[in-house]
A and B are shown apart, each in its own frame.
Chain A
Amino acid sequence: MDLYEYQARELLQEEGIAVPKAIFAQNSHEVAQAAQEIGYPCMIKGQVKIGHRGQAGGIKMAKDLDSAILTSEQILPMSIHGHKCSGVLVAEAKNIIHEYYVSISLDRDSRDFDVLATAHGGTEVEDIAKSHPEAVKRLHISALEDFDITAATDMAKAIGFYHADVDQAAEILLKMWRVFTKNDATLVEINPLAKIGDPEDESSKSLSALDAKISLDDNAAFRHDGWKRFADPIRVDPFEQQAREHGLHYVHLNGQVGVIGNGAGLVMSSLDAVSGAGEQQGSEVKPANFLDIGGGASADVMSKSLSIVLSDPQVVSVLVNVYGGITSCKQVAEGIVLALNEIISPKPVVVRFDGNEAAEGLQILSQSGNPRIHVAKTMEEAAHTAARLAAQQSTTVSLAGREGL
């Protein structure tokens, strides 16, 4: 799970990392209050879980109350790279002397933790790595070692912090490591970690986290009270919400074919097969969702899953692809029949069974005599049938629509 900047700041503050004063606001009234409290000039920063906000116009400076309100009215309704703004952060504007980049992340390849840093902060690290590859330093923290202040000081020196900043940087690195471990994070990134203050007055200078990105490990939610405090303040996708309530893995996509299967790999493979079929048939039909019923799903779980997918107005046809390992195709078949008996819907459901109790499952489907159920022998055939039915159905609907005019 990715956090918004305003949530990530909370975690940094809890470990004592300096951040500028800021208030999260969701409407212009709240923005006005926040700006008055923060003072001027202040930054109005759109809260989205995606990078390159600044370039997209999602971060602006306001010099007084009027411009703060005006700016927030521009940013609040924005969608940045397809992500809807959840609000704005009204933050103190700081005088930046220098910008560093520091992150700690999980390294899948070396199976430990990566510290990535550069003295050329401010922009996205991928861009820095392209323009100044030699300036990006990468160090590792082992999964077994303890990372302490001595190790952090050595690291701060190796990373290339300027001499005067090393002690403070080491403290921040250590605190970042604590944020990382205490919260089961997979990424803690501060960019920029800025040197702020009066350029003429040495004693006024300090390092401050002007922006932060944190990702948390969903698998660890059980030991953090489900991360209730990081719930999204804006409405999440209702289908994803419903699926989550039933403990199902679901991702909403843009196409017309609802896809249900057992096991993440097989479902991903089914999505690819539907897209491939759509391309081959020239209809450009695409999958509407990813839904994994998991291993050993009951008839009830299958029925709930199909109900969720059928209730999506975007879905025109459904593909159910099951290779029974632990999962029984019989249970899945019962679930399909159950859902189709409950929901009045013209949407066809294409089913492919293989493995555990496939024959029994197919028998249940054929006994139901439901004309909306189509059976396919292979997953390729199933994907082609589902894509073709979606394309036909879409044409019929649009023709009917035109005739209505």
Chain B
Amino acid sequence: MSLFVENGAPVIVQGMTGHQGMTHTERMLKAGTHIVGGVNPRKAGTTVSFAQGREPSVDIPVYADCAAARQATGATASVIFVPPRFAKSAMLEAIDAGISLIVVITEGIPVFDTAYCVAKAAERGVRIIGPNCPGLMTLSDPEDAQSKGTNLGIIPDGIVGHGPLGLISKSGTLTYQLMGELSDIGFTACIGIGGDPIVGTTLLEALQTFNDDPHTKACVLIGEIGGDAEQQAALWAHEHMSKPIVAYIAGFTAPEGKQMGHAGAIVSGHRGTAQAKKETLESVGIRVGHTPGETANIMREVLKTQKLI
């Protein structure tokens, strides 16, 4: 069983030796992620020791580039923490090395660079998650000895355990908020797709993956102002989705023409408003909560009435 990423997939971290990279590699290791290498041309050949607060510590080798890292370790996934100006070459390097899943945490990447890399990835059959996202977390199923949780990115470990829900979000902290609200139910996986105008995995594509996953019984969808990814996901779900969805949309009070933190969170003219998203979602029978708390309550109610828990 795998959801977005193979169980126990070997993972490399691009930008591991930087401050963010170090902090989060430590946390990902703690969460059980199978990290096999880091990439930094200036520190190639060295190893970095992660104590994890217990003995023995883990030594992670640093490679000159993705190709060398992949050859030495067989890594199939990469998490990118490099600064915005180096992100394009980091993504292209991973694509060229044959990495099949690239999670880009970096915020502030020029949209031209992202557009180019996303098109390149599509051409090669590579999945990019992000950029400007908290990443992906899959939860291990206690009843399945084969299942191993993987944490690719910065979603804090320990908020939730395994359960029947899938979560898809444009926002980082709202992901944690809803995970916290629904920690009594639990999740198969939580994916933050990112808040940029162009992302590698859309709301719709993430929904498709959850729809195909036998362990996911229902989906939480967290959207925000900007673009119309939510509407597209809603229309697709109406035709194809066999599982219930409950949604939350942030940004009803956002003024027109102002970027609300995320590069993609902007209402342009009459396009991209929270109200329009809510209306489309509701028109296809997807209930939308006013607050994260209400959204969680609706989800519990839906699970009960449809006898999914």
Point out residues on A near B: beta carbons under 8 Å: 2, 49-50, 106, 108-109, 111-113, 126, 142-144, 181, 184, 186, 217-220, 222-223, 249, 251, 253, 261-269, 271-276, 286-287, 290, 292, 295, 323-326, 354-356, 378-380
Known A-B contacts A268-B224, A325-B154; A112 and B115 likewise in contact (beta carbons under 8 Å): yes
What's the least CB distance linking B209 to chain A, in Å? 18
- Interchain residue pairs A-B with the least CB separation, the first 5: A265-B171, A264-B261, A263-B173, A220-B110, A266-B173
Q: How big is chain B's contact interface, by range?
A: 35 or more
A286-B180 contact in complex given A111-B118, A181-B112, C-beta closer than 8 Å: no
- Extra contacts, 9 of them, besides A184-B111, A219-B84, A265-B173 (Cβ < 8 A), are A108-B197, A111-B118, A144-B120, A186-B197, A251-B255, A251-B259, A265-B261, A269-B174, A271-B254
Closest A residue to B251 by beta carbon equals A268
B contact residues around A295 at 8 Å (CB): 154, 172
Asked if B61 is at the interface of the complex by the 8 Å CB criterion, the answer is no
With A267-B261, A272-B253 already in contact, the answer to whether A184 and B154 are too (CB < 8 A) is: no
Interface string of B81-95 (1 = CB under 8 A from A): 000110000000000
CA distance A111 to B113 in the complex (A): 12
Centre residue among A108, A251, A262, A326 by max chain B CB count within 10 A? A108
Please, how many angstroms separate the alpha-carbon atoms of A263 and B195 in the complex?
Answer: 10
> B85 to A222, Cβ gap below 8 A?
yes
Contact A273 B254 (CB under 8 A): no
Task: Write the B183-212 contact mask toward A (1 if CB under 8 angstroms, else 0).
Answer: 000000000000101100000000000000
What separation, in Å, do the CA atoms of A108 and B227 have in the docked complex? 7
Q: Can you identify 13 A-B contacts, CB atoms within 8 angstroms?
A: A112-B115, A143-B116, A184-B112, A219-B110, A249-B260, A261-B173, A263-B172, A268-B251, A268-B254, A271-B251, A290-B254, A326-B154, A378-B293
Q: Are the C-beta atoms of A325 and B172 separated by less than 8 Å?
A: yes
**Cβ-defined contact, A253 with B262, below 8 A:** no
* Contact present for B269 and A126 (CB under 8 Å): yes
Q: In the bound complex, do residue B116 and residue A144 qualify as a contact, i.e. CB atoms below 8 Å apart?
A: yes
Q: Quick check: A286 and B262 within 8 Å, CB to CB?
A: no
Give A249 to B175 CA distance when docked, in angstroms: 20
Interface string of B7-25 (1 = CB under 8 A from A): 0000000000000000110
Asked whether A223 and B85 contact (CB < 8 A) given A111-B115, A264-B195, the answer is yes
Q: How far is the CA of A345 from the CA of B198 in the complex (A)?
A: 43
Partner of A268, one of B85, B120, B250: B250
B244 to nearest A CB, angstroms?
22
> Interface of chain B, helix or strand or loop or mixed?
loop
B180 touches A355 (CB 8 A): yes
A379 touching B177 in the complex, CB below 8 Å, given contacts A143-B118, A325-B154:
yes
From A219, A276, A326, contact of B291 by CB (8 A): A276
Q: Which residues of B contact A (CB under 8 A)?
A: 23-24, 84-85, 108-112, 115-116, 118-120, 123, 134, 154-156, 159, 169-177, 180, 195, 197-198, 222, 224-229, 232, 248, 250-255, 257-265, 269-270, 274, 290-293
Contact assessment for B119 and A106 in the assembled complex, using a CB-CB cutoff below 8 Å = no
Given A126, A251, A271, A355, which contacts B159 in the complex, CB threshold below 8 Å?
Answer: A355
- Give the residues in chain B near A264, CB-CB below 8 Å: 171, 195, 224, 260-262, 265
* Contact A379 B292, beta carbon cutoff 8 Å: yes
Q: Given the known A-B contacts A265-B222, A378-B293, are A271 and B156 also in contact in the complex, defined by CB atoms under 8 Å?
A: no
A222–B251 CA distance with the chains assembled, in angstroms: 28
Contact B252 A218 (CB under 8 A): no
Q: What residues on B are CB-neighbors of A113 within 8 Å? A: 115
Other-chain residue from A49, A262, A268, A273 in contact with B260 (beta carbon distance below 8 A) = A268
Q: A262-B173, A264-B171, A355-B180 are in contact. Are A218 and B263 (CB under 8 A)?
A: yes
| A188–B170 CA distance with the chains assembled, in angstroms | 27
In the complex, what's the smallest C-beta–C-beta distance from A3 to chain B, in angstroms?
13
Complex: A325 Cα to B31 Cα, angstroms: 14
Residues of A within 8 A of B177 (CB): 266, 269, 323, 354, 379
Contact A323 B262 (CB under 8 A): no
Q: Identify the closest chain A residue to B222 (Cβ).
A: A265
Residues of A within 8 A of B109 (CB): 219
Nearest-CB distance from B121 to chain A (Å)?
A: 10
Shortest CB distance A326–B (Å): 6
